[in-house]
Amino acid sequence: MTVTGLEGIEVTQSAISSIIDGTLTYRGINIDDLATYSSYEEVIFLLWNGRLPIQKELEDLKLKLVQYGTLPDPITNLLKSLPHDVHPMDKLRTTLSALSLFDTHVKDMSREANYDKALKIQSKISTIVAAIQRISEGQEILLPKSEYNFSQNFLYMLKGKEPHQTAVESLDKALILHADHELNASTFSARVTVATLADIYAGIVSAIGTLSGPLHGGANEAVMKMLEEINDIENIEPYISEALFTNKKIMGFGHRVYKTGDPRAKHLKRMSEKLTILTGQRKLYDISTRIETIIKNKKGLLPNVDFYSASVYQSLGIKKELFTPIFAISRTSGWTAHILEQYDNNRLIRPRATYVGLLRTEYIPISQR
């Protein structure tokens, strides 16, 4: 039986994350516990190693993420040369691909080398995304500071000043919530790529390209565009009614895997309320909650991880064009975990397709056509 979009088809085995009865876990640990008690660096270690780190291991990881944050000069020059009107995801894809050319160990396929490359990619992708924004604003590129954690450093490299602790905590939690999600589209594309024994950079570039689509990583950017178009509480009802009448897709609702609600959404909703109040943008939260109520009542759909992440990032002063690249920063931890797992027990991924075209078609020479 052919299943469109491979929905419900199990194509591999993985010990990284699971979605069972609507509960998301990373290496068996409930996402609610990780979002409440953990840090993004701890989650990186967990995804890559299958267990939580001890203090020394966590400190070593944090140090490496800072040390590897510097970009080669040619990469910096490349970033500055890219067209300003190109979407940041396209810039990120191109830059990440070019970055592989400056890694002298790119073809070393030992697990130790690949783990080290995963560290480099995780660190540098944060610097690259911040640099894309800084360059577009005519500002100098900043590098991570050793006294900051991963989330602090990204906000510092983005804004050029010490970030507010609430902002740091909110971003860190958002990165944790987006870090992995079983065999999603971008993770699958990464595993397909490296299953050919292509290098880890090629796998990440494939994943970035997949994430750039509006049905995957681009959804929260689309949510923010919708919130901007609505702009006021009184405009919600007519906007949503018109969208439903014309069958316009309202982004940020429903999920192919979750039927009783995305477990990550409640964390982002609480963060949205807290941040919008802190930054004087409560209207964003109020509009969002009203949309949630209407869509739930009229369509029976609940918000997914993308819906409230839009107002969270907006409250952090992040431009909507950067929402998906930040998703990529977070998901890099999951992508690299799956890539390492694929390398450990590799088999070429080569599915079949059910042929539905013409049969026994006669070839006609060009002179007779």
Predicted local confidence at residue 56, as pLDDT? 98
pLDDT digit string, tens, across residues 42-94: 999 999 999 999 999 999 999 999 999 999 999 999 999 999 999 999 999 99
Structure tokens at 199: 């290098």
Indicate which residue of 181, 255, 267, 338 is catalytic: 255
Mean pLDDT by runs of 10 across the 369 residues of the chain is 72 94 95 97 98 98 97 98 96 98 97 98 98 96 97 97 94 96 96 98 98 86 93 94 91 78 91 93 95 93 91 93 96 98 96 90 95
Q: At 261, which amino acid appears?
A: G
Helices 111-136 and 55-67: crossing angle in degrees, nearest 10, is 50
Report the SS3 class of residue 253: strand
The yes-or-no answer on residue 306 being catalytic is yes
CATH number, span 16-165+175-213+320-344: 1.10.580.10
The yes-or-no answer on residue 255 being catalytic is yes
Predicted local confidence at residue 1, as pLDDT? 61
Residue 17's region, left for phi above 0, alpha for psi from -120 to 50, else beta, is beta
3-state helix, strand, coil in the chain (%, to 5): 60, 5, 35
Q: What is the DSSP letter of 303?
A: B
Predicted local confidence at residue 2, as pLDDT? 66
Partner residues linked to 24 by β-bridges: 19
Predicted local confidence at residue 17, as pLDDT? 97
Specify the CATH architecture of the domain 219-315.
Answer: Orthogonal Bundle (1.10)
User: Which of 50, 51, 94, 52 has the alpha carbon at shortest distance from 75?
Assistant: 94
CB neighbours of 186 closer than 8 A, spacing ≥ 6?
Answer: 206, 207, 208, 210, 211, 216, 217, 331, 335
pLDDT digit string, tens, across residues 127-150: 999 999 999 999 999 999 999 999
Report the distance separating Cα 150 and Cα 162, nearest Å: 13
Whether 17 and 182 have beta carbons less than 8 Å apart is answered as: yes
CB atoms within 10 A of CB 166: 15
CB atoms within 10 A of CB 91: 22
- What residue has token string 């949630």? 292
Which three-class secondary structure string do you get for 8-64? CCCCCCCCCEEEECCEEEECCEEHHHHHHHCCHHHHHHHHHHCCCCCHHHHHHHHHH
Report the distance separating Cα 326 and Cα 90, nearest Å: 13
**CA-to-CA dists, residue 98 to 46, 106, 204, 251, 350, angstroms:** 28, 12, 12, 32, 27
Predicted local confidence at residue 107, as pLDDT? 95
Report the distance separating Cα 227 and Cα 290, nearest Å: 11
Indicate which residue of 172, 199, 262, 306 is catalytic: 306
Predicted local confidence at residue 5, as pLDDT? 75
Domains of the chain, residue spans: 16-165+175-213+320-344, 219-315
Whether 65 and 119 have beta carbons less than 8 Å apart is answered as: yes
Query: CB burial class (10 A; 0-12, 13-18, 19+) of residue 73?
Result: exposed
Predicted local confidence at residue 213, as pLDDT? 87
User: Which of 15, 9, 36 has the alpha carbon at shortest distance from 341?
Assistant: 15
CA max distance for the chain: 77
